[in-house]
Structure 1
């Protein structure tokens, strides 16, 4: 894949809004809706038909279509392809942008054509994925949550005698989970550095 195709792929994953874009109104409505956010999470991972979204989310087909149309109005969801099913009817597949950027009107027009802006987004997405890997590894390796005595409900005062029942977690438990998480991030950064260095050597005569 050459640089132009790479840049196009990055820009296809991001939707750039200007501050006076009418689509921001639909975006606000979408982000405010639990149903829209649920559908959005599915479409970020895979391209899906309305029927597939309905089956995966447990939402009715009519509700899915309503919210998908709203998300298309906001520009965050698009039709990725259309195929013909066994009944000779068109079947639309939907996909979602991975991120959004809101810029002033003049800046948004330039950003869509800017090579440096595309490169910046590319680097942000790379390092963001490394950061996500670190967070996930910490969530996996972190010590279990403290268990409160049975019968205690959130918002109630915990009796003093109950503190004796709480388990004690050692410093080493947290220390190990942090080391593992930082190691994941460090390895990711090292791999990224080596890849960039390798690419520069290939470009040099």
Structure 2
């Protein structure tokens, strides 16, 4: 499963020997003994890490003959452009990844935009009133609660989003 693969990837990235093997194999083909010698690791440890990398699909493996000995060896390589993506869920396959991000994110973007806009408008009105009437004490009483407008709008919007998701 994807969780198991992510767990294995986490284990690989958390150990220095795994990270060294990954760095060594990016863009280069090497066989097990070469890796062990280059990194001064035990062959069994290299095999252990390579098996984990193979289990999550991180390696390219090829069989090649070494000319002077005529033996078959497995060569391991990590493609230089390797990106690690989890398998797509059914919902993402059905609706599309970007569609899902847009649909989920647009609600919060709209709430943020409305909140910031209302705050800017109220702040602008307060500044204009202070410029026209230089007496701060007279204007502060009518404008001291203007910051509540964006908070109320954001709160109501978040409640509506929560309510609509809960009762779909």
Question: Is the radius of gyration larger for structure 1 or structure 2?
Answer: 2
Q: TM-score range by the shorter chain?
A: 0.3 to 0.5
Using CA pairs under 8 Å that are at least 6 residues apart, name the structure with larger relative contact order, 1 or 2: 1
TM-score (structure 1 length as normaliser):
0.39
TM-score (structure 2 length as normaliser):
0.46
